[in-house]
Structure 1
């Protein structure tokens, strides 16, 4: 077993402990599993636009070269289904259980976002070619999904965002996703020709400066949504 998989396994006791704390203190409803199709679609659109902007920036600066277009359609569709289901499971586990439980323990939602982001980001430290940018990106991804949960109090916005980010980045645009090629025959076949800090190298654009900038833009948007939702909740409480 490699170090990255071992780090993932070591998360399981934390998830179990804090998951129990979350459910006992906040109830099962607080995990945010109740279906929200429109919220999922919104997250998917945000993720699609975000990673597409990274692709456009890299093409505009000639740091990637498109070699061909056309892939294994059946495999791409199968991966879409798989990545959607995986995103829902991961958000339920990492945000609904782990982050919620940590929030109860530390009595601060934002501190819980940060702690969860670091814990879940640790396995990225050991991914091939991650480097400082890849590690930072892994932690920021946790902040992004954590903010999505706080903005909606459910897993669906973050799940849509996660599913689109991975699907569009890998099977559609042909990038590595956290150092892994998800499909051998993506829709777009392209090759990185620019500096590693611009393309992310073997790790993928998540470990690039453009990728980090776009991630920060999404985080800023989600933080604003958190403030808006809490402001509206406060007004409703006063009106009641």
Structure 2
């Protein structure tokens, strides 16, 4: 019951911090505000875990935090770059000019709070609650479905877009947590992917087609299966394929390290 209360409280906090930061638009002030909001979320999580669960929140411990954050950011950025490059090869994406550095900084600030709060909520709390009952495999499936369903409320949302998010991001980020048993790698992957998507290539993010501009101005044309349509590249089949490959690698790593939790009997 206490964990469920923690889930509800952090759900509201996630909506409040992410929504408030997003409302600032493309102002350069989003960077410090978003960074501060992300830090506040981490502090609140640590306090809540100590008071509610009576334990040390090792999943956001300092040991290896910087390394995993950087590694995750590079992975997220690299995988999305591979996705958008493949879409471009098939004629679905084209850079039309330079965008805005200020918008890039704003995207960094917004995505910092989005990545931190969503990972605290979905992997730090929800995944852990479900895993105690269903084991790792069940937690991966259930948390991915809920993560995908969350995106159905976004502009230009489609069932396929939500399913794609579940298959690529929901599974990949859950696998990143399972492989390391810390939240720093999934936070980094989430941040790197979103910043590269919105802040660099200026594409739609989970249906928010007109919400972002990046370092590049661009246009997307072609079949929805390739470009993702109005939902953005996350609904491209290439995103599902590339993220699926990373998920398999991470799950093999989790299995090799003995970090797969069996289902409760």
2:140 to 113, 118, 121: 113
Q: Residue 97 in 1 paired to residue 125 in 2?
A: yes
Q: 1:179 to 1:17 in 2, by over 3 A?
A: closer
Q: Would the aligned equivalents of 2:220 and 2:227 in 1 still touch at CA under 8 Å?
A: yes
Q: 1:75 to 1:188 in 2, by over 3 A?
A: closer
Q: Would the aligned equivalents of 2:156 and 2:208 in 1 still touch at CA under 8 Å?
A: no
SS at match of 1:87: helix
Q: Residue 129 in 1 paired to residue 156 in 2?
A: yes
Cα RMSD over matched residues? 2.7
SS at match of 2:207: coil
Partner of 2:174: 146
1:209 positional shift: 1.0
- The number of aligned residues is 217
1:197 positional shift: 1.0
1:40 positional shift: 0.9
Structure 1 regions of 5+ residues with no counterpart?
1-11, 232-240
Q: How does 1:1-240 map to 2 (within 5 A)?
A: 15-16=7-8, 27-30=55-58, 32-35=59-62, 36-68=65-97, 70-104=98-132, 106-140=133-167, 141-181=169-209, 184-230=212-258
SS at match of 2:96: strand
Give me the whole-angstrom Cα distance separating, in 1, the residues matched to 2:210 and 2:118: 17
The one of the two structures with greater contact order (alpha-carbon pairs below 8 A, sep at least 6) is 1
Q: 1:219 to 1:227 in 2, by over 3 A?
A: same
